[in-house]
A = this chain, B = another copy of it.
Amino acid sequence: MPRICVFDVNETLLDLRALDPHFERAFGDAHVRQAWFSQLLQTAFVSTITDNYKDFGTIGATALDMIATRRGVTLSQQDRTSILQGMRKLPPHPDVRDGLERLRNAGLRLVTLTNSTEQVAQEQIKHAGLSEYFERIFSADTVRRLKPAPEPYRMVAGRLGVDIGQTRLIAAHSWDIAGALHAGCATAFIHRTGMVLDPLFERPDVVGADLHEVADRILEKEGM
């Protein structure tokens, strides 16, 4: 049986750069988007380490306020809303549709697993026009532990009724790959612009510049 492909969503399938104009308007600097996402992840990881679960949307909103305070910027309600609601309406990266098509047509089973709540994830995938490719949309929120903790990856395997080694997590984030490998998944890294693998962690057996390359290598690995 070929492994089930488990896709991360934000930055892996969907392009956060669509938020840049909102950050440009609110902070006068589009690069603040990266600082925000980085603060969001920091808070998420600390909440995991200290067993203090908060949902990803709440963390995202708080991280935005922290970045604004840190930079001495007062965010209007409109700026805040356009960024936070914008997360639900991100476009897919240009290689995503073809890559998913290719994997599905080869007969692979595809699902998603995100730190966003299930409601947000459903909305994101639907708005990006990708619903037809995925048999299930999973959220870490269901087990109240965010990736890269092992519980969300295990939950996906459990719900699909397969051994965790029969899943492959596909992500553009080194930390997501590290968490999935630790939990026992196979992995694949999409080397999107500005993303790098952390050499301190085990290396995924599939690495590619986009989902075209990654899909090719996954099909090879699965002997298809």
Per-position binary interface string of chain A over residues 147-165, scored 1 when its CB falls under 8 Å from any chain B CB and 0 otherwise: 0110000000000000000
CB contacts (< 8 Å) of A198 on chain B: these are 43, 46, 62, 66
By size class, the interface of chain A is: 35 or more
Chain A, 171-219, CB within 8 A of any chain B CB: 174-175, 178-179, 181-182, 194-196, 198-201
29 contacts between A and B (CB under 8 A): A38-B38, A38-B42, A41-B42, A42-B42, A42-B45, A43-B198, A45-B45, A45-B46, A45-B49, A46-B148, A46-B175, A46-B198, A48-B49, A49-B49, A49-B148, A49-B149, A49-B179, A50-B179, A50-B182, A51-B182, A52-B178, A52-B201, A58-B200, A62-B199, A65-B199, A66-B198, A69-B196, A70-B194, A70-B196
